[in-house]
Amino acid sequence: MAMPADAGRIRDLLHAARAHDPTSRQPLFLLDRGRPVPVGSVAHRHRAPVLHWAGWSGLGARCSVHDGGLLLDAGAQADVRQALLARLAADLRRQGLIEGWRDELFPVQALDALPTHAGGPPALTRIERASARFWGTLTFGAHCNGYVADADARPVALWIGERAADKAVDPGRLDNLIGAGVPDGQTPAQALLREAWEEAGLHPAQLQRVRTGSVLELLRDRPEGLQREHLHVHDLELPAGLQPVNQDGEVARFHLLPIAEALEAARDGRMTVDAALATLDFAQRHRLLDAAGLCAEDLEGLDALRWQPPRP
């Protein structure tokens, strides 16, 4: 029996969340307290520029081959490591290997760090956000589904943002009410509070009813490297009549879409991959799939993306 077109597009989307060729990269380790800690990966074509970087010897650090990958010995202190990796990233940027500089620091965590809405363990070091995918390090995102409910508290519409045409990433695509990368020193909840005002003009008091949803694990090959991300999904019921207003120029406009239309946008590729996954996660958790003619079997692959706490 042929697969319905709608279900096929959903499966393509779920596949895109894990579209990674593991043979294209090699492991990256950071020496910490005398032991190699896996923190990411490096594309094979970038092995030589990293391994033979002239700055290693001059800074009293070194890069060596270890367990089929690269081991960085960048000192024992997080701030020392940060300074050294910043110099390396600047050189890689000059070579055109890192693009889209953000002047924002992301934490470097062990790859086995447990995702929690309260934040992770202390960072081993910090790197420029734009270099995270070059290094294939674990990053954290926070998205919020802003919805309007009926008298029975059932969601009937979602606030969907349209990204500005001049955005460096995914210009003009549809997005969730709030979407944030989680920088160093912030939890996903804190990142949402910050972005809530910048993206939607919402004050902290208006986020008191935000609820945590799933944590989705993404592993995607991208032109700039590898997106290895824990996407923390949240839900926020907003009163009817409230109009989100963007403050930082990164959202062109907001649309209040009935649930069926929002799911169609997620299914048809009009949303960013992250936003589409967060929207489908919301719909499945709130049992709204029938609004777009979908069923639980169509989203079986979504369960595989959800992080589950380890059993004792």
E strands within 150-250?
Answer: 155-163, 174-175, 178-181, 211-222, 225-237
**Distance separating alpha carbons of residues 186 and 217, to the nearest angstrom:** 19
pLDDT tens digits, 238-288? 999 999 999 999 999 999 999 999 999 998 999 999 999 999 999 999 999
- Judge if 235 and 184 occupy the same domain: yes
The answer on pLDDT for 231 being more than 90 is: yes
Residue range(s) defining the domain that contains residue 220: 5-18+140-305
pLDDT tens digits, 39-91? 999 999 999 999 999 888 877 789 999 999 999 998 888 888 999 999 999 99
Helix (H, G, I), strand (E, B), or coil: what is residue 121?
A: coil
**Distance separating alpha carbons of residues 219 and 1, to the nearest angstrom:** 30
Q: What angle do CA 87, 88, 92 make, to 5 degrees?
A: 120
Cα Dmax for the chain: 67
- Judge if 12 and 77 occupy the same domain: no
The answer on pLDDT for 134 being more than 80 is: yes
| pLDDT score recorded for residue 299 | 82
* Residue 200 and residue 177 in contact, taking contact as beta carbons nearer than 8 Å: yes
* Residue 234 and residue 145 in contact, taking contact as beta carbons nearer than 8 Å: yes
Residue 311 domain-assigned (yes or no): no
CA dist list (Å): 240 to 159, 246, 251: 11, 18, 21
Residue 193 domain-assigned (yes or no): yes
Of 137, 165, 182, the one marking the end of a domain is 137
Average pLDDT of the segment spanning 192-199: 95
**Distance separating alpha carbons of residues 3 and 29, to the nearest angstrom:** 43
- Judge if 127 and 172 occupy the same domain: no
pLDDT tens digits, 151-194? 999 999 999 999 999 988 889 999 999 999 999 999 999 999 99
**CATH number of the CATH domain containing 204:** 3.90.79.10
Nearest to 128 by CA among 171, 166, 169, 97: 97
- Judge if 157 and 296 occupy the same domain: yes
For the chain, what percent of residues have pLDDT higher than 70?
Answer: 94
Q: Residue 72: how many CB atoms within 10 A of its CB?
A: 27
**CATH number of the CATH domain containing 87:** 3.30.750.160
Nearest to 28 by CA among 83, 82, 66: 66
**Distance separating alpha carbons of residues 174 and 42, to the nearest angstrom:** 31
Helices 5-16 & 273-285 angle (0-180, nearest 10): 120
Residue count of the chain = 312
CA dist list (Å): 131 to 42, 90, 126: 11, 10, 10
Q: What confidence tier does 3 reach under pLDDT thresholds 50, 70, 90?
A: very low
Is 174 exposed, middle or buried, given 0-12, 13-18 or 19+ CB atoms closer than 10 A? buried
| pLDDT score recorded for residue 121 | 74
Residue 33 domain-assigned (yes or no): yes
- Judge if 149 and 35 occupy the same domain: no
* Residue 220 and residue 227 in contact, taking contact as beta carbons nearer than 8 Å: yes
3-state helix, strand, coil in the chain (%, to 5): 35, 30, 35
The answer on pLDDT for 308 being more than 90 is: no
Q: Count how many domains the chain has.
A: 2
CA dist list (Å): 18 to 56, 222, 233, 281, 302: 34, 11, 17, 16, 11
| pLDDT score recorded for residue 301 | 86
